[in-house]
Structure 1
């Protein structure tokens, strides 16, 4: 017999277990399978959340390496500034140096034989120049001395312009050489040469412009300053190189006046030619082919220009 305080009967407990009226323990495998199926999905979601939020394994923020901000690029080094022009007594002065001839002239005789107007008449565009007995070209000598001369003058602060640096196959023509000095408004122009006369004729000489007027030629304004330039160079050249004025012209002064050179006739700036020695004489040739002597030659010419310009 059962009263109200009696524990429920087993069948009553089973009947209240769920809507399908099955005991709870008969539905456990289904629940386990459902949870197992959801676990991979939840794990994948958690990993994605960690990646997107930047959280590390301990819950703190930690950006993945792939999304880390790269270090700022190192800026390219600024180009070194161009060296400032040397300051010196010739600052603000312009000197044009004309290396006589061109080594390529020997291969372009048709071009250099063409006549150009030099004011008073017409003359060949340029010539080949001479050589020593061993084949050292005058054009090699003149370019070497001219480049050394440029260095010496720039050290005094001068702006130096060369009419060419053997960067062209031939020339330039004598009228163009004069024009380069004129257009540069040069304070002084020197054309560097070496002579090619008979052996035994030795020494240097300066060629000065004569007073000429005709066509595009008018040297009246440059005759006197050109003479002063020539005298300055002659005295300094003799002292620096130990060479003597020519023994075959100029009466021992080392100065000669000519009216047949287009480079002088067409110049409107103080200008001289210097024949540094005779390439056809063995003793002079030994000096002209010596780098040490060529350095002295360049320095002697530079000292003369500096003196002429009041440096």
Structure 2
């Protein structure tokens, strides 16, 4: 819920400042307004609140001519702390709704090829949508990072629209000269498979140094996530390491800043799904990721 008496500064990724005064709306509409231009909607909270997503996967119809969002939303720190001066991109993976026009649009994959703009992701067998999980963890993580002094850039403004495309998500981090980027996902593997893993790119647009730093970020994130959540390492990818180098993830390949992608668990596995749906577990994920970011930046 909104808290009165606070002010939230939202900046678009291209630098237009928007000051949002105190009011009674939840954060998601304010983020949407900031992402579409310099006119702000009243809002009021130092903390983001996840109010824009249904917990169930839906077949919401969208305008077939809809264009994917761009730019991201830049959020100022709410307190001073260990992350003062840092800029961190938080990417809630996938789209809030399905759009064939968006999902069949091809964008650069960072390796000279093309791939789909984006999708709405997978879901649990009971219908809890991956995009909703990703958005909830991302908003929780954003709150924690900002309370430690970081400026946070969310790649999408809410959990109702389409986009950004995967290449644009990398570009958001590049334009903001982020210190690191974390993309939040959950997998849709065979029901017998369990656990989390971290994906990193084997070769990034930022060159060998950024690729190496991303490998270090992957290790730190893996260890912090395992320690902070208790989720087991993947039984089906990473050969026990829970770290998977890949060449087909455009959001990582196109990045010029250290970046990793978290698959927080397998939504098709009953035990993982029960955890992923839990608000308490989502908060534990966010805390673990915040700790990972802080540890990574402390050692740079």
What TM-score results when the alignment is normalised by the length of structure 2? 0.72
Q: Compared with structure 1, are the counterparts of its residues 81 and 199 closer, same or farther at alpha carbon in structure 2 (3 Å cutoff)?
A: closer
**TM-fit CA distance, 1:89:** 1.1
1:117 equivalent to 2:108? Answer yes
CA distance in 2, matches of 1:81, 1:260: 42
1:185-216 Cα deviation digits (max 9, x unpaired): 1001000000000011000000011025xxxx
**2:35: which partner in 1?**
none
RMSD across aligned positions (CA):
1.8
**1:304: which partner in 2?**
292
2:199 to 183, 207, 212: 207
1:247 equivalent to 2:240? Answer no
**1:266: which partner in 2?**
254
1:158 equivalent to 2:158? Answer no
Please say if residues 219 and 265 of structure 1, whose CA atoms lie closer than 8 Å, have aligned partners that are also in contact. Answer: no
1:243-264 Cα deviation digits (max 9, x unpaired): 1110101111111100111101
**1:184: which partner in 2?**
176
**2:44: which partner in 1?**
none
Q: Compared with structure 1, are the counterparts of its residues 225 and 134 closer, same or farther at alpha carbon in structure 2 (3 Å cutoff)?
A: same
Q: Compared with structure 1, are the counterparts of its residues 219 and 135 closer, same or farther at alpha carbon in structure 2 (3 Å cutoff)?
A: farther
**2:93: which partner in 1?**
100
1:88 to 62, 81, 88: 81
**TM-fit CA distance, 1:229:** 1.0
Q: Compared with structure 1, are the counterparts of its residues 137 and 118 closer, same or farther at alpha carbon in structure 2 (3 Å cutoff)?
A: same
**TM-fit CA distance, 1:81:** 7.8
Q: Compared with structure 1, are the counterparts of its residues 91 and 251 closer, same or farther at alpha carbon in structure 2 (3 Å cutoff)?
A: same
Please say if residues 210 and 219 of structure 1, whose CA atoms lie closer than 8 Å, have aligned partners that are also in contact. Answer: no
Please say if residues 96 and 160 of structure 2, whose CA atoms lie closer than 8 Å, have aligned partners that are also in contact. Answer: no
Please say if residues 194 and 275 of structure 1, whose CA atoms lie closer than 8 Å, have aligned partners that are also in contact. Answer: yes
Q: Compared with structure 1, are the counterparts of its residues 255 and 167 closer, same or farther at alpha carbon in structure 2 (3 Å cutoff)?
A: closer
SS in 2 for 1:221: helix
Please say if residues 143 and 165 of structure 1, whose CA atoms lie closer than 8 Å, have aligned partners that are also in contact. Answer: no
Stretches of structure 1 lacking an aligned partner (at least 5 in a row):
1-79
**1:3: which partner in 2?**
none
Q: Which structure's residues are more often helix, by fraction?
A: 1
1:285-308 Cα deviation digits (max 9, x unpaired): 000001011110111111111100
Please say if residues 190 and 274 of structure 1, whose CA atoms lie closer than 8 Å, have aligned partners that are also in contact. Answer: yes
Alignment of 1:1-311 (within 5 A): 82=7, 85-104=78-97, 106=98, 108-120=99-111, 121-166=113-158, 169-211=161-203, 217=205, 219-310=207-298
SS in 2 for 1:180: helix
SS in 2 for 1:222: helix
SS in 1 for 2:144: helix
- Say how many residue pairs are matched: 227
CA distance in 1, matches of 2:176, 2:270: 38
What TM-score results when the alignment is normalised by the length of structure 1? 0.70
**2:16: which partner in 1?**
none
Please say if residues 208 and 257 of structure 1, whose CA atoms lie closer than 8 Å, have aligned partners that are also in contact. Answer: yes
**TM-fit CA distance, 1:219:** 3.7
CA distance in 1, matches of 2:6, 2:273: 43
